[in-house]
Structure 1
Amino acid sequence: MILFLVGLHRPGSGKNRDIPRSGTASPTWSLPLLRRVRAAIPLFALVLATGMLLSGCGSPKPSVAAATGPMDHFIALESDGRILYEAGGKALAARVQQLLDDAVSTVERRHRLPFLRPVRVHVFANARTFARESPSPNTAGVTVGGELYLSPRLAEAPEKLSGILTHELAHQHFTQYLGVRNAYEILPRWFAEGFAVVVSGAGADRVSEQEAIRAIINGEQLYLSGDPRSLPTNSRSYGVQPHMFYRQSTMFVEFLERNYGEEKFGNLLRRLFGGERFDGAFVAAFGRPVPIAWSEFVDSVKTTHLAEPDRKP
């Protein structure tokens, strides 16, 4: 899951350990300035961000996150300054450290580009604090203003940590390249979430592929008009329940990469990271608009299902 708040973006070295190892100071902004920004715009930013997937522009600009409350009580992990934790969350932070390099490498490989600047992960130990800072307190992880927040519930579900971490880093990677203002006009939510699930293997586990196939055959499908002027801003706007939205989005992204090939899929990513509008980049990469590709996907699902008569409906 992802939600981005108002901010700007600045490129960095791409070396994910080059970050101050004390406090929560940003590599490019002073702590007093961050406090003033957070104090001045949290309510405005939260309202503006509600329902957004991404917001930003394609050109790199300086970056600052807007949290809903003070975040200066987080402690930088001594052995890895990319990881910040609340008191009581050091054990979970240490688990994150064990997984972080592999997660970063996975995202960079699948996105075909390195991170522009060091990643940063906030590990929460207090459920109340996480609920205050996260627009979606019931999630295990969320990206806010380009910052990754991990819920304390992951301490009780360590088997999910790697997938959630990688999923949110996939969102953070797009944020670094696209910025955090207006980028939701570049990336439709079905693509951003579907691709993050493909990259991480996490985020669509509550609906199986077979359940999604049955739903598609019965007409319970994503609504993909291809019109950027009517771009849905949340999963329900696509005409299906949230968990079904995640699974069908994932299946469609997998279809695009499988059906058209890695070269064309990579072309789409290059165009998106270059700041092109999604609808135009999609046609340039695949030779057809989103609704036509979606129809091809639906036809392939129905054809495959009908070709397997022993499969239970």
Structure 2
Amino acid sequence: MKNKKMNWNRIKLNMKNVYQLTITIGCLFCFSGCALHDGITNYFNSTDHYLNFKQDQRVMYEPGAEEFAATAASELPLAIKKVESRQYSTFSDKIMIYVTKTPESFKKMTGRGVSAMMYRKSIFLSPKLLEKPDTIKLYIAHELSHLHLHQHLGDYAYLGIPSWFLEGLAAFVSDGGGAENVTDDEVMESIRSGNHFIPFENSGLRDLFRPRYASYFKIRHKFKHHLFYRQCMLFVSFLENEHPAQFKKFIIDLKNGIDFSDSFRISFEADAMTKWNEFKTKIIES
């Protein structure tokens, strides 16, 4: 009887570990616009072949990517300062940046074909960024915004933050990282025409399997993901500009573990949809 009980406890412990791992992998992919099944196998790829960048031990790089690593290292201090200032606290854990040599090696590590990604509690950078060197600092700050919140919240609580706010905050903090291919005027026109996202407040396990990004909202544009990010960014910017003290309280409450919906309603004395309608009305009347 004692052995059976011990075995059952071991099974429950293993199931809990599997569940936690699924949440960890899933939430990282969910808020990078990727479905859960795309990322599980890549999660276990080794980073042992990455080399330390001597001038900044927070930066690792694949052989052959040292020049890219030097650029990333030079942009890192200011990006960290920007995120800590605009998100009202320091990072609570170490920061690690992995610089890949080729887009193929980036995809092999992350399962994605994007330019940058917060993944495995670190940041991965693709040499796609070298096509537009001026955007490197933007993307580093964007991904640092995600990492900063993730460090403070942990896997499960991070999963509870809606994608529109995560991406809007990251684009806002980074001065447009991930949204640089569209203009504010394009965003305002898209909102006037009804081609926009809806600021939902609840996020969770369902978003692991169907992330709510541009495609979910049927946003139409050549650069639909950039349009989605910039729409989110301008809404977050509106909240911060119109209600700076409340916005700060909201971010701090989130990091203290208060539910997104509760934090939003307590801080702004309204739900997200009400504030969105105020934002939308301001654009329509402009």
Please report the TM-score for the alignment, with normalisation by the length of structure 2.
0.80
- Show the counterpart of 1:233: 211
- Show the counterpart of 2:272: 290
Measure how far apart 1:234 and its partner are: 2.7
Q: How does 1:152-191 map to 2 (within 5 A)?
A: 152-185=127-160, 187-191=161-165
Say if 1:282 and 1:289, in contact at 8 Å, map to a contact too.
yes
Q: Which shifted more, 105-114 or 234-243?
A: 234-243
Counterpart secondary structure, 2:57: strand
Task: State the AA in 2 paired with 1:297.
Answer: F
- Show the counterpart of 2:187: 212
Matched, 1:271 2:253: yes
Distance 1:228 1:71 in 2: 31
Cα RMSD (Å)? 2.5
Number of residue equivalences: 250
Counterpart secondary structure, 1:224: coil
Map Cα deviations across residues 102-160 of structure 1 (whole Å, 9 max, x no partner).
111111111110011221100001322111112321x2111112210000223343211
Task: State the AA in 1 paired with 2:73.
Answer: Q
Matched, 1:143 2:118: yes
Distance 1:109 1:279, change over 3 A: same
> Which residue of 223, 235, 239 corresponds with 1:256?
239
Say if 1:121 and 1:150, in contact at 8 Å, map to a contact too.
yes
- Show the counterpart of 2:31: 53
Q: How does 1:10-159 map to 2 (within 5 A)?
A: 48-49=26-27, 52-53=30-31, 67-137=43-113, 139-159=114-134
Q: Which has the higher contact order (CA 8 A, sep 6+)?
A: 1
Distance 1:199 1:100 in 2: 14
Distance 1:109 1:257 in 2: 13
- Show the counterpart of 1:193: 167
- Which of structure 1's runs of 4+ aligned residues deviate more than 3 A? 43-51, 225-232
Measure how far apart 1:301 and its partner are: 0.6
Counterpart secondary structure, 1:237: coil
Distance 2:277 2:248 in 1: 22
Map Cα deviations across residues 52-89 of structure 1 (whole Å, 9 max, x no partner).
128xxxxxxxxxxx834111100111221100000001
Distance 1:50 1:97 in 2: 23
Say if 1:82 and 1:121, in contact at 8 Å, map to a contact too.
yes
Q: Structure 1 unaligned runs (5+)?
A: 1-39, 55-65, 305-313
- Show the counterpart of 1:34: none
Counterpart secondary structure, 2:59: strand
Distance 1:50 1:79, change over 3 A: closer
Task: State the AA in 2 paired with 1:219.
Answer: G
Task: State the AA in 2 paired with 1:168.
Answer: E
Say if 1:116 and 1:176, in contact at 8 Å, map to a contact too.
yes
Say if 1:272 and 1:281, in contact at 8 Å, map to a contact too.
yes
Distance 1:227 1:72, change over 3 A: closer
Say if 1:83 and 1:123, in contact at 8 Å, map to a contact too.
yes
Q: Structure 2 unaligned runs (5+)?
A: 1-17, 33-41
